[in-house]
Amino acid sequence: MSLTYEERKHTILTQLAVQGKVQVQTLARLFQVSTETIRRDLDRLEKEGELRKVYGGAVRIRSGMVEAPFHKRSQLQLQEKQAIGAAAAALIEDGETIMLDNGTTTIEIMRHLQHRSQVTVITNSVPILTIAMESFAGKIIFAGGEIHTAVQASTGPAAHEMLDQFKVNKAFISAGGISFSDGITDYVLEEALISRKMMERAEEAILVADHTKFGRSTFAKIAPVEHISMVITDSGCPAEWMEHLRRLEIETIIPVRAI
């Protein structure tokens, strides 16, 4: 019995969410239908705004290659980010030194560390630095460099040279997107390079990302997914990604969101 359009649509959109693209020939073999049927499906899905057709298949419609302003992003998936931040902070032991890159999820980690006097935080993020200066009982080290005003963070050679001076216990990395094909990515090259440097200078790299980041590719590559040891996300993370992380033997934590 052949699948209906709605059934094929579900599978096509699931593959797009996980892989970022689909191919006509592969889908035709999968569904055991003609390539003309698949092309009609893709035409219909494009008209519905679900994908963009390309030669030989289709790709996921990206949310845009320009990231929204920091203050606007900080309000998106806020409850999920707060729960992720609390779970990440709980992993940090007294006496440890950590790195936090610049992100609206890593800033929630900082909020949950304010009373931790035996923790040292190294960051390039101006918003994280600001919060730490107001209420953090531990030690804060700012990896200074050229301030990238659009993203409110320091970048460039001076920031890299300073990060090279440290070896830390944990680096908590945020992301613009996470995909099978492109790995962990960010919107801004300079920020991606800082995140990559933090991963290199840490004994353990931990990715903190809400479910909307999975299946998305953005401009600049940070690292392959295999280069991290743990993911902290939320219950909306696609099942395909949970299975993929399990196969890679990457520990995944999904905290219970506060009501």
pTM of the predicted model, to two decimals?
Answer: 0.76
CA distances from 6 to 2, 3, 45, 127 (A): 12, 8, 10, 45
Nearest to 193 by CA among 143, 232, 249, 233: 143
Enumerate domains of the chain plus CATH numbers. Answer: 5-60 (1.10.10.10), 70-253 (3.40.50.1360)
Quick check: helix, strand or coil at residue 85? helix
pLDDT of residue 75: 55
Residue 183 CA to residue 200 CA, distance in Å, equals 16
Spatial neighbors of 158 by CB under 8 A, at least 6 apart, are 144, 145, 146
pLDDT of residue 182: 87
CB 122 within 8 A of CB 97: yes
| Tokens 């934590």, residue located | 253
Spatial neighbors of 96 by CB under 8 A, at least 6 apart, are 119, 120, 168, 169, 170
Per-residue pLDDT of the chain (259 residues; tens, 9 = 90+): 578 888 898 889 888 877 778 999 999 999 999 999 999 999 998 887 778 899 999 987 755 454 555 555 555 678 899 999 999 999 999 999 999 999 999 999 999 999 999 999 999 999 999 999 999 999 999 999 889 777 889 999 999 999 999 999 999 999 999 988 889 999 889 999 999 999 999 999 999 999 989 988 888 999 999 999 999 999 999 888 999 999 999 999 999 764 3
CB atoms within 10 A of CB 29: 12
> What is the DSSP code (8-state) at residue 166?
-
CB atoms within 10 A of CB 240: 16
Do the bridges between strand 202-208 and strand 230-232 make them parallel or antiparallel, or are there none, so unpaired? Answer: parallel
